[in-house]
Structure 1
Amino acid sequence: MFRWFESLIDVFGKPDTRMPPRGIARFYLHYLRQAWLVLGVMCALGFAVALVEVALFDFLGRLVDLTREVPAAGFFARHGRELALMAFVALIARPLLIALSDLLMHQAVTPGLTARIRWQQHQYVVRQSLSFFQNDYAGRIANRIMQTGASLRESAVQIVDALWYVSVYTGSALVLFAQADWRLTVPLIVWVLLYIGALAFFVPRVKQRSWKASEARSALMGRIVDGYTNIATLKLFAHTRQEDAYVAEAVQENVEKVRAMTRMTTGMDVTLTVLNGLLVVVTAGLGLWLWQQGLITVGDIALSTGLVIRIENMSGWIMWVVNGIFEDIGTVQDGMETVARPNAVVDVADARRLVISRGEVEFRGIHFHYGKQGGVIAGLDLHVRPGEKIGLVGPSGAGKSTLVNVLLRLYDLEAGSILIDGQDIAGVTQESLRGQIGVVTQDTSLLHRSIRQNLLYGRPDATEAEVIAAVRGARADGFIAGLVDGEGRRGYEAQVGERGVKLSGGQRQRIAIARVLLKDAPLLVLDEATSALDSEVEAAIQDSLDTLMHGKTVIAIAHRLSTIARMDRLVVMEGGAVVETGSHAELIALDGLYARLWKRQTGGFVAVA
């Protein structure tokens, strides 16, 4: 039974990677409509439960009158069927309705809808551009995705519950009171108007302050996670006190925003408590006066007093529900600001898969500025012939890494085009483009998974023999066998830690090289690929790099000449433009920028074979 209810909402149903709409109502609808049938049945059950509870109160008043009108000896004989019917309602119908409602809520909606929202938001956010993640804390982004799903589901369900109970109880009470005496409805009508006025005053303010509190909480989470992620830097620079102050500032901001919110909730609590007290006292007093005048029965007093006490308790519950709803809405609104942003880099509607047969790369008049005034790359032209190996050199800020970033389409060009075998990369899928390019960077970070899982990122369908061959090729087999993590996993199953922190820089780099060896892509980008290796290890894997580069088009960014010495051609960049090109000897003879850079080198030079 549980499994059937748990299967009603498919967490991984039809994927939806569209941008969620902006605007809080449309944002809610975007996710809730995916479970409209389950939520609709829950609404109907909530309505039925509320009606049953009102019917029980009505019967209670009738029961009081019946005990006064009918002799005790013949009570069950005359009203046995009615009593049996209400017993059935109380003992079977009401528990059954509540059980069905709970099964839908706790087995279907709470785990299923929450997880579905989180999954879809993750699917969308993970496809955002590199700049999206560079401009925010990773911890804050993750925190917002985790909180938004739960808060959206909880607030939507609570809104429905509150609306049903308020409308059913209040509406039914007005009808039942009017049947007894219309004057009993007056205190309730006045209370409803005052209650609505109080909510109209407090709710928008609670909502606004809840949003600010949620925003402050996310900022606090971001700062804490940022410190944990960079814990080595904190310790190396002995800045514990500075870090404490940095986090304390966010804690103080969060406390102030939460206090501003709770001041409003306290004011709302006191106001509604006073209104509720007035409702009970005035209704009970009016009922007694009408009874004294012989206008209503004792049963009417029991009904009216019982119902207003129930409404009073319910209004207190609704107050906290409303407080929770708008705190959740504030959290959802905070999450919406992160999730509902357009993707900066998207595939065109008819994007094709990139097919590489030769490996020719052309940069034609490209412009890119990272959104800054002035140029990083402006009007650059560069032709890399099929199978050619070029080295990009130049001072920091020359645009070397930017050239690689736009080749990988981590950013879209502002003007110009990049062609691979005559195919404009703007018209192919990002997945197929990056699948055809192997990249080894200077700052290699590994996934917090096992050695094997990190290697298989290069090619998930690789065989064990291919994995071992790649590891040997990268000269990583010497240390993998001796790895042991904190859980006792060894060798290829050992976890590497966040960003690979359990490995040395050289070990991380060799795993990264093995991963690219396994990928065996036709285009290869090396960004200071051996910078983390000592000279002995670098020399040991140089043959592997030669094997890796064989038959491929290679673009290598390097400052260490041991890397670029084996390139077919050197391309010198400055100010986002190509200023010199040629072999090492030709550029030395030219006595330009490259020659000046060369003279500043302090290391040796590995001669070209």
Structure 2
Amino acid sequence: MATSSQHTSSFAALGRLLRYARGYRRRIIAATTCSVINKLFDIAPEILIGVAIDVVVNQEQSFVARLGFETAQQQITILAVLTFFIWAGESLFEYLYQILWRNLAQRLQSDLRQDAYEHAQRLDMSFFEARSSGQLVATMNDDVNQLERFLDGGANAMIQVAVTVVAVGAVFFVLSPLIALLAFTPIPLIIWGAFYFQRKAGPLYADVREKVGDLSSRLANNLGGIATIKSFTAELREARRLKQASEAYVEANRQAIRISSAFIPVIRMAILAGFLATFTVGGMMALNGDLNVGAYGVLVFLTQRLLWPLTGLAEVIDLFERAMASTRRILDLLAEPVNVRDQAGKDLEQPVQGRVAFDQVGFHYASSGAGVNGISLEVPAGNTLALVGATGSGKSTLIKLLLRFYDPTHGEIRLDGQAIQDVSLKSLRDAIGLVSQDVYLFEGSIRDNLAYGKPEATDEEIIEAARTAEAWSFISQLPQGLETPVGERGVRLSGGQRQRLSLARALLKDPPVLVLDEATSAVDNETEAAIQRSLRRIGHNRTVIMIAHRLSTIVDADNIAVIDGGQVVEQGDHKTLLALNGAYAAQWRVQTGQVNNADT
């Protein structure tokens, strides 16, 4: 399906790119200047050939003789010297434009990728939930590389084609306006063909970029879920799906190639018409004495120099269209709005005590309508709040709102009395440690992962945090200890080991507020008992907010809030809630095996 960005002109995309690259203006001007000078030197030898023919034919009456060089030998000598300097100048400026354009391509692609990544990090979680990681990786990697390829050679080629038309055209009109008119007759057809191709190819190349993203997404998903694929013996099915995505990419390219391939034969015939006009009419004029023989030689050589490079225009425009399709995707990503605004420079008052308050907080996801409705909860500093309830009741939503992954549509969340929307994201998130059910470990060593929130941590601090989380017992038994590689997403460790490392990582950060989102739901009884012991030790003088399905893990919580349908339906400590004999008590009886026959 065509998107609005596909209908955006490629030249509009180029304008957006130039506005983004305004900090590179001097480099672009320098590279363009070298390209122009190089092309002027490049077409000069054809002019010198014509002048040399004029010298041989007319000798003392030649054009060069009028400049003060009387003998033919002197004229040939000065032409040889000029040829040397022209070729040297052409070589020098070719070296310079290659260096300038290629370095510009490297610098711009690096900065674009970095800016796109940094902007993506600031985007709301809803952005990532609505897009596949494969599409984003394709934009930041393949699309940026496509733009780099254009800047490496395509930009210079486009500039030099324009310079050739202008410079050669000027020489033509000086020597023979009639032949100039004949030689330039095919150019409107060539330009029309180029724009026709651009108009036809633009949407096709946008579709190619989309198919690249789909293919990257399919590869990333399949490689990330290889264990699931194997367990369901779905290798053949996934291979077919990948082939479908790959064939869709091939077909999108085929459509674009069909348009681009038709361009060169048409242009070749237009060039032939222009060359034959110059060759024939100019020859007749030279034979009749209406045109100097040297000028005729210049015109014949320059006609080929003028028209033949235009056959490469199709390839250049092909590269340009691919690059602009990629540019639109990159700049569209950079234009994505950031809704969760960072109040940079307005930090939480230190030291942070950890007093958390939810005041009539409301929020609903646009995609599903689920969320929370007018929740009010108070967590005194150093206390433990447990959130329980069915899946989808709104427990995790409160945590996401506390971390400002989203902002509430109603109400306010405060930390130590300060509205969290009024303080910097860094100071807020530095004050909160998150241990999630879905533990994410980065590829690297155990040390790298433990010190992720505190890179400057000493070995003693790392080991102490690991001991507190009861992770040191297994780390110390590993042959490489803290240097043990964890593998991608921690695949070399067990689920319980990953969970303990996640807890140790949060503890090393030493946050005033610790958030545990289903931290024990996917671990065995031994690991759960170990984490329970850890929580009893670390819960002192620290605010802890826990989400748990296993009620046995929260019996010591100072306050337990039962969430149902986005609202708090019960609240109190364990004994109080059991005495209420409501939803919490019913769930407790189920989990402890106290359900009688009547209940079942």
TM-score after normalising by structure 2: 0.91
Over residues 261-299 of structure 1, what are the superposed CA-to-partner deviations in whole Å (9 max), with x where a residue is unaligned? 111101212211221222222221222222222222332
CA contact (8 A) 1:392 1:558 kept: yes
Q: Which runs of 5+ in 1 are unaligned?
A: 1-21, 485-489, 605-609
Partner in structure 1 of residue 283 of structure 2: 288
Partner in structure 2 of residue 205 of structure 1: 200
Task: Give, in angstroms, the shift of residue 354 of structure 1.
Answer: 5.3
1:158/1:212 CA distance change after superposition, 3 Å:
same
CA contact (8 A) 2:198 2:321 kept: yes
Partner in structure 2 of residue 83 of structure 1: 80
State the distance in 2 between where 1:314 and 1:372 align.
53
Partner in structure 1 of residue 168 of structure 2: 173
Task: Give, in angstroms, the shift of residue 321 of structure 1.
Answer: 0.8
State the distance in 2 between where 1:118 and 1:530 align.
38
Q: Which amino acid aligns with 1:97?
A: F
Q: Which amino acid aligns with 2:49?
A: L
Over residues 420-449 of structure 1, what are the superposed CA-to-partner deviations in whole Å (9 max), with x where a residue is unaligned? 111000111111111101111111111112
CA contact (8 A) 1:155 1:326 kept: no
Partner in structure 2 of residue 113 of structure 1: 108
Structure 1 consecutive aligned stretches of length 4 or more whose deviation exceeds 4 Å: 156-160, 372-375, 481-484
Task: Give, in angstroms, the shift of residue 156 of structure 1.
Answer: 5.2
State the distance in 1 between where 2:585 and 2:25 align.
69
Partner in structure 2 of residue 423 of structure 1: 418
State the distance in 2 between where 1:441 and 1:292 align.
89
SS of residue in 2 equivalent to 1:448: coil
Which runs of structure 2 are paired with 1:453-602 in the superposition (5 Å)? 453-483=448-478, 490-602=480-592
Q: Which amino acid aligns with 1:537?
A: T
1:115/1:367 CA distance change after superposition, 3 Å:
same
CA contact (8 A) 1:215 1:331 kept: no
Q: Which amino acid aligns with 2:56?
A: T
Q: Which amino acid aligns with 1:566?
A: D
CA contact (8 A) 2:453 2:508 kept: yes
1:351/1:51 CA distance change after superposition, 3 Å:
same
Over residues 372-407 of structure 1, what are the superposed CA-to-partner deviations in whole Å (9 max), with x where a residue is unaligned? 575521111111122111111111111111111101
CA contact (8 A) 1:158 1:325 kept: no
Q: Which amino acid aligns with 1:75?
A: A
CA contact (8 A) 1:356 1:421 kept: no
Over residues 127-147 of structure 1, what are the superposed CA-to-partner deviations in whole Å (9 max), with x where a residue is unaligned? 212222222221220221123
State the distance in 2 between where 1:78 and 1:253 align.
64
Partner in structure 2 of residue 38 of structure 1: 27
TM-score after normalising by structure 1: 0.90
Which runs of structure 2 are paired with 1:7-86 in the superposition (5 Å)? 24-70=13-59, 75-86=72-83
CA contact (8 A) 2:385 2:559 kept: yes
Corresponding residue pairs, total: 576
Partner in structure 1 of residue 338 of structure 2: 343
State the distance in 2 between where 1:401 and 1:593 align.
19
1:603/1:507 CA distance change after superposition, 3 Å:
farther
State the distance in 2 between where 1:402 and 1:23 align.
41
Of 180, 186, 193, which residue of structure 1 is paired with 2:188?
193
Q: Which amino acid aligns with 1:241?
A: L
Partner in structure 2 of residue 440 of structure 1: 435
Over residues 354-377 of structure 1, what are the superposed CA-to-partner deviations in whole Å (9 max), with x where a residue is unaligned? 545432111111110011575521
State the distance in 2 between where 1:563 and 1:467 align.
26
Which runs of structure 2 are paired with 1:217-236 in the superposition (5 Å)? 217-236=212-231
1:102 aligns with 2:91: no
Q: Which amino acid aligns with 2:94?
A: I
Q: Which runs of 5+ in 2 are unaligned?
A: 1-10, 61-69, 595-600
1:224/1:550 CA distance change after superposition, 3 Å:
same
Over residues 538-563 of structure 1, what are the superposed CA-to-partner deviations in whole Å (9 max), with x where a residue is unaligned? 32343322222111111111111231
State the distance in 1 between where 2:264 and 2:526 align.
72
Task: Give, in angstroms, the shift of residue 154 of structure 1.
Answer: 4.2
CA contact (8 A) 2:116 2:330 kept: no
Q: Which amino acid aligns with 1:150?
A: N
